[in-house]
Amino acid sequence: MSERTIKVDYLARVEGEGALYLKIKDNKVEDVKLKIFEPPRFFEAFLRGRDFWEAPDITARICGICPIAYELGASYAMEDACGVTVGGQLRELRRLIYCGEWIESHILHMAMLHAPDFLGYQDAIQMAKDHPGVVRDALRLKKIGNDIMVLLGGREIHPINLCVGGFYKVPKKRDVRALMPDLEWGREATIALIKLIKTFPMPDFKQDYEFVAMRHPKEYAIIEGRLVSNKGIDIPIRDYDKTLVESQVPHSTSLHTHVVGRDTCHVGPLARYSLNFDQLTPLCQQTAREAGLGPACFNPFQSILVRGIEVLYAFEESIRIVQQYEEPDAPRVEVKPRAATGYGCTEAPRGICYHRYTIDEGGIIRDVKIVSPTAVNQPTIERDLRRFVEPNVGMTDEKLQWHCEQAIRNYDPCISCSCHFLKLTVERS
Amino acid sequence: MGVAVKPKLAVYKFASCDGCQLSLLDCEDELLAVAGEVEIANFPEASRAVAPGPYDVSLVEGSITTPHDAERIKQVREESRFVVTIGACATAGGIQALRNFKDVREFISLVYARPEYIQTLATSTAIADHIHVDFELRGCPINKYQLIELISALLRGRKPNIPKHSVCMECKLRGTVCVTVAQGTMCLGPVTQAGCGAICPAFDRGCYGCFGPKETPNTASLSAWLKDKGGKSPDELVRAFRGFNAYADAFRKESEAHE
């Protein structure tokens, strides 16, 4: 009879505050809790009584790492409520700034938060001492993502230029075209980074997931599409609440999500990649195959590679948009409020981010629901931990703890977002 | 032994979106240089390694919203030489301070089905309401160049060059035509502290006050102008001042005056 606990009181290299608690009895995992103690933040409540026009700016403050997901999710929901469609170059600009956010967020996670786990460093700054070129290139890649955000959004964090209907001001053609040399460098540097990551030791850990992501008939979905899964979901966004449900657990200020009548689900890069591989560019597909990835990926540790493929896609898509860009006549489509409920969902770097708003005829917000991707993934992370620990129970506490942290970081969890995240506790008995 | 000891930097998070501490990681061109000058001793978002205190500079992000955090911040003060608050949440309670105007119990039941699991305070308050703060950086989010200036100044033992004048000054320096005078757009620029670079007016929209009140702001005069000449309703004025710095004294009083 032996019992041990592993506890991490404050998880590092994640966005927000969380902890891990693991209780092992007779080499069996008795309890796993990904505790989220990020203070509760009441965005759904603050938004009631505000003007529909304010929702993108206010919801951006849910997350400093993926503000575009909130600004655009809110905008799409309001446009849906008011019967407005945003197309043409304005839609292209929305995809372009979202590519900027994917690049900035994915590279931050891959190079600075996740790669040190594979190579055994405490952090990217330590890693930079032995691999200065890699860290410098990663910082430059990240900066290019941020440069897109600054040009289109005014600043990297909480951009100010996005609004319901489009933008306050559209960028000049010459300024957009000026991004090209960096984007072309970024595309090549990303391929080099993926080749390097391919050499990292990769735990063999395939899981049976229900992947949920958006799918669009014509493009690798980022801003619009139907919600689909590999186990039968295929619905318009407005049916989200009938398909995915939330429940509250005592150890978390973040709500947990399940598929109705089934189990937990998995959102984010692995889900998007596995459901929409056919829509990636030929260069992305070829680079993925050379990195040893198939057309679907069920090993969450390989998410670092899949993020790399998505960064490559974001660079290629940015190049396409920049090359065809012409300044639109107006910076936005006029949106007149009406009493209605609207739905919006976009692919944040960490997965689907759902918004629902009810507004009145004067445009005042009466009801709100927002679901962050980490809230959806939290129970899946706990299930991964349980399944990862049992075959590896012989590891020392220190080693097991680090591997568990790495398994959590596979999801790039954004705890600030989900509370509306992480300490590790392993208890062995 | 004559070995120079690097100053130790710590970064703490309270209720916040992570954006302000992300600003440090967003200093792509300066990050490795900063890491060469200071020991990043306690920065959980970036590193697993935690060196024990005391710390020379502690950057504090976020506001105080839970009983546990109200105690934790005292510990931060005890082990820090300089405490610097970064961003609107830490300096004024942030967007979370909207709860200060309402009944928080109602908020909990709106978001959470089982309110008994949730521990929260009725208010979201600035760090300076709990401990002595040595310096503050405004903004939602902070400006990363102001952060680099602040770290450089503290390392050299000089006062940081952080202007206290209004956003209007930055518009003039940038050559932006006034959006209020020219288009009648609601703009908090005249009463808001500079530091962002007057981005919003340069993108054809009014300032929404994310750097909080400037020194001696004349909010009443601005409201009168917006009401009389801009045709704004009291509700619109309340919402304008009740944003990301809603509980900063000058903005709070002005929003309450129109309720």
Q: Who wins on pLDDT, A261 or A418?
A: A261
Residues of chain B with Cβ-Cβ distance to A136 below 8 Å are 32
DSSP string covering B147-171, please? HHHHHHHHHHTS------SBHHHHH
With cut-offs at 50, 70 and 90, classify the pLDDT of residue A206: very high
Give the number of other CB atoms < 10 A from CB of residue B182. Answer: 10
Q: Who wins on pLDDT, A321 or A262?
A: A321
CB B19 to CB A39 under 8 A? Answer: no
Q: What are the structural domains, with CATH classification, of chain A?
A: 3-428 (1.10.645.10)
Q: Is 70 exceeded by the pLDDT of residue A33?
A: yes
Separation between Cα atoms, residue B71 and residue B130, nearest integer Å:
9
Give the number of other CB atoms < 10 A from CB of residue A50. Answer: 20
Q: What is the pLDDT of residue A417?
A: 53
Q: Is 90 exceeded by the pLDDT of residue B219?
A: yes
Q: Which of A54, A248, A250 is closest, CB to CB, to B239?
A: A54
For residues A73-86, average pLDDT: 98
Q: What is the pLDDT of residue A39?
A: 64
Residues of chain A with Cβ-Cβ distance to B50 below 8 Å are 12
Q: Who wins on pLDDT, A344 or A123?
A: A344
Q: What is the pLDDT of residue A401?
A: 87
Q: What is the pLDDT of residue B1?
A: 41
What does each C-alpha distance from A107 to A168, A270, B142, B149 come to in angstroms? 28, 16, 22, 26
Is residue A66 within 8 Å of residue A412, measured between CB atoms?
A: no
- Nearest Cα of chain A lies from the Cα of B241 at a distance, in angstroms, of 12
Q: Is 90 exceeded by the pLDDT of residue A317?
A: yes
- Nearest Cα of chain B lies from the Cα of A10 at a distance, in angstroms, of 8
With cut-offs at 50, 70 and 90, classify the pLDDT of residue A1: very low
Of chain A, the percentage scoring pLDDT greater than 90 comes to 72
Is residue A121 within 8 Å of residue A406, measured between CB atoms?
A: no
**From A167, which residue of chain B is nearest by alpha-carbon distance?**
B203
Strands A18-25, A28-36: pairing is antiparallel
CB B44 to CB A10 under 8 A? Answer: yes
Separation between Cα atoms, residue B112 and residue B110, nearest integer Å:
6
ipTM of the complex: 0.94
The pLDDT tens digits of the residues spanning A225-243 come to 999 999 999 999 999 999 9
Q: What is the pLDDT of residue A416?
A: 56
Q: What is the pLDDT of residue A252?
A: 64
Q: What is the 3 state secondary structure string of chain A? A: CCEEEEEECCCCCCECCEEEEEEEECCEEEEEEEEECCCCCCHHHHHCCCEHHHHHHHHHCCCCCCHHHHHHHHHHHHHHHHCCCCCHHHHHHHHHHHHHHHHHHHHHHHHHHHHHHHHCCCEHHHHHHHCHHHHHHHHHHHHHHHHHHHHHHCCCCCCCCEECCEECCCCCHHHHHCCHHHHHHHHHHHHHHHHHHCCCCCCCCCCCCCEEEEECCCCCCCCCCEEEECCCCEECHHHHHHHEEEECCCCECCCEEEECCCCCCECCHHHHHHHHHHHCCHHHHHHHHHCCCCCCCCCHHHHHHHHHHHHHHHHHHHHHHHHHCCCCCCCECCCCCCCEEEEEEEEECCEEEEEEEEECCCCEEEEEEEECHHHHHHHHHHHHHHHHHHHHCCCCHHHHHHHHHHHHHCCCCEHHHHCCCCCEEEEEC
Q: What is the pLDDT of residue A275?
A: 98
Residues of chain A with Cβ-Cβ distance to B45 below 8 Å are 12-15
Q: Would you call B81 helix, strand, or coil by DSSP?
A: strand
Q: Which of B23, B112, B140 is closest, CB to CB, to A61?
A: B140
Q: What is the pLDDT of residue A196?
A: 96
CB B19 to CB A64 under 8 A? Answer: yes
Of chain B, the percentage scoring pLDDT greater than 90 comes to 77
CB B210 to CB A67 under 8 A? Answer: no
User: Across-strand partners of A258?
Assistant: A245
CB B205 to CB A250 under 8 A? Answer: no
Q: Which of B23, B46, B239 is closest, CB to CB, to A50?
A: B239
CB B48 to CB A122 under 8 A? Answer: yes
With cut-offs at 50, 70 and 90, classify the pLDDT of residue A348: very high
The pLDDT tens digits of the residues spanning B150-194 come to 999 998 899 999 999 999 999 999 999 999 999 989 999 999 999
With cut-offs at 50, 70 and 90, classify the pLDDT of residue A41: confident
Residues of chain A with Cβ-Cβ distance to B210 below 8 Å are 158
The pLDDT tens digits of the residues spanning A249-285 come to 766 666 778 898 888 999 999 999 999 999 999 999 9
Put simply, whether B208 touches A (Cβ < 8 Å) is yes
Put simply, whether B252 touches A (Cβ < 8 Å) is no
With cut-offs at 50, 70 and 90, classify the pLDDT of residue B116: low
Q: What is the pLDDT of residue A40?
A: 66
User: Across-strand partners of A420?
Assistant: none
Burial A270-305 (b: 16+ CB within 10 A, else e): bbbbbbbbebbbeebbebbeebebeeebbbbbbbbb
Q: What is the pLDDT of residue A420?
A: 39
- Nearest Cα of chain B lies from the Cα of A157 at a distance, in angstroms, of 6
Q: What are the structural domains, with CATH classification, of chain B?
A: 8-156 (3.40.50.700), 167-257 (no CATH)
